[in-house]
Chain A
Amino acid sequence: MTSPTPSGQRPVSLGDHQVPDERIALIAPHIAMLAETARAVGDRLPLEADATDMVAVLEGEVE
């Protein structure tokens, strides 16, 4: 295994940094697990959901 990315390419953001195959073998299933969660959450998330919602909910709290 050389990369867990769907495209089979190693991330360009790593530049020349080499991630050893044994670590990629650990990273891949972990990232796949997180991606499953993202997909499941994304399926339930309204189109309008936005990063600024968080602050709105925090600030909406009445003391």
Chain B
Amino acid sequence: MDTTTLAAVDLAAAIRDKKVSSVEATKAALARLEAVHGATNAVVTLETDRALAAAAEADAALARGEVRGPLHGVPLAHKDMFDRTGKIASWGAKIRRAAPAKSTATPIARLEAAGSHQIAALHLTEFAFGPTGHNYILGHARNPWDTTRITGGSSSGSAISVATGAVPLALGSDTAGSLRLPAAACGVYSLKGTWTRVSRAGAMPLSPALDCVGPLARDVRDLALAMKLISGADGRDGGVSARPVPDYPALLGRPVAGLRIGVDEKLVSEADSSVQKRFETALRVLEKAGARRVSVTFKNWREIDHLTQLAQLPEVASAHGAFLRTRAADYGPQVRARIEYGHYISAADHQTAIRARGTILARVLAETYADCDVTALPTFADPLPTIAELDVGGGPKLMAAMARVILFTRPVNYLGLPALTIPYPHDGVPNGFQLIGRPFAESVLLRLAAAYQKDVKPEIAKVA
């Protein structure tokens, strides 16, 4: 059995049914990761001994009749920005915590409580602060479908690992598009939940006003399961909503007929014409499944984008203030340059952005979402650029280049809305679009993605 082609839910079933052992699945995952790393730079640390020990424990528990949860024995790997007891996460950077973590990040701990184990810590943009996969400390991530092209960032290694079949599911984070962009670029799914849906306890903070932790997966069933497992109240993160977590996997089969997908044609027309064509093709898949397309308008998208920057940049500058003052040379040029911006934004302007959020979200819900259930936008505005094209360092092209990459993703973080990236039907180099839901409407997004997946089957990148 080739376990590297399976969805997490199917692999877990195979392990439970003793068709394959966790050790066998873990060895296969480690081998696949090792094989793809050379071409893609997906891995920061391969944790072979620890992974195999955890897998052996899972097999032993199963032999005793114990099943820890729905991911029992399943090997996973995650973006290297989460605390794990006794370890120092790389944060994709030269600058790291001085001491090992005393506890494990809540989302990771919840996936482990469900029976999974981590086999590797994965590549990310330095401090998760970049949307392309460039990293001047670790080396740039390379797209498994075309290694000259970007992976998207900042959850680059997570997207590569899922796309290549090494693991079925991985965690990442999203402050301005960092789950959605790499998912689109590598041809997999990702889900950024509502801003307050998933605990961020133990995740490296970048901009708490915007940060979200979420899963990437090849199969929507895995995305739904992961979201169910990691969502919900957490005593370690007071910002998480106390709302009950829906049983997302159980809701996947609900019909999508009649669901209205809002499209702002004027905004979409800012995308490259080839992207618009792929976006239209993907929308037709959803229409064929019974969803209905309607026209909507996102008023003042640029204004929302500016507000996102006013919220984000001072938070990043503050978080990195001490490091910038004392260890500026240890940053890569791009991240250092972007951190500097926040020092020049006035406190009043930052506060305006933070104070305005509720008002602007309420307006968007009342206007844009008045006659639709979800909205759709491309994830990238352009076909995937090459690594060389976007190798702008900290130079004069930096902000414009980054702004174009996150044109359709960054404002969604300001609005706090859930957004799910779906890969376009395969056509050589991947790309994708996002469905953006009302607050806490993750299940609607997942249902639409499940309907889409019935028509457009996941594919695995054969880089190695």
Contact among B310, B325, B396 for A38, CB-based, below 8 A: B310
What bracket does the count of chain B residues touching chain A fall in?
Answer: 35 or more
**B340 within 8 Å of A (CB atoms):** yes
A-B contact count (CB 8 A): 123
Task: With both chains docked as a complex, state the minimum distance between the C-beta of B266 and any C-beta of chain A, in angstroms.
Answer: 20
Interface residues of A in 1-47 (CB under 8 A from B): 3-5, 11, 13-17, 19, 22-23, 26-28, 30-31, 33-35, 37-42, 45-46
Task: With both chains docked as a complex, state the minimum distance between the C-beta of A24 and any C-beta of chain B, in angstroms.
Answer: 8
Interface of B: prevailing SS = helix
A57 x B346 contact (CB < 8 A): no
Contact among A41, A52, A55 for B352, CB-based, below 8 A: A41
Contact among B194, B309, B352 for A42, CB-based, below 8 A: B352
**B232 within 8 Å of A (CB atoms):** no
Interface residues of B in 271-307 (CB under 8 A from A): 303, 306-307
Contact among A11, A16, A61 for B440, CB-based, below 8 A: A61
B399 x A45 contact (CB < 8 A): no
Report how many residues on chain A are interfacial, defined by Cβ distance under 8 Å. Answer: 41
A49 x B340 contact (CB < 8 A): no
Contact with A along B296-333 (1 / 0, CB 8 A): 00000001001101100000011001001110100000
Selecting from B20-28, B47-55, B163-171, B358-366, the interface stretch reads B358-366
A53 x B352 contact (CB < 8 A): no
A-B contact pairs, 5 of them (CB 8 A): A38-B352, A58-B439, A58-B440, A61-B365, A63-B246
**Chain B residues within CB distance 8 Å of chain A:** 194-196, 241, 243, 246, 303, 306-307, 309-310, 317-318, 321, 324-326, 328, 337, 340-341, 343-346, 348-349, 352-362, 365, 394, 396, 398-399, 416, 438-441
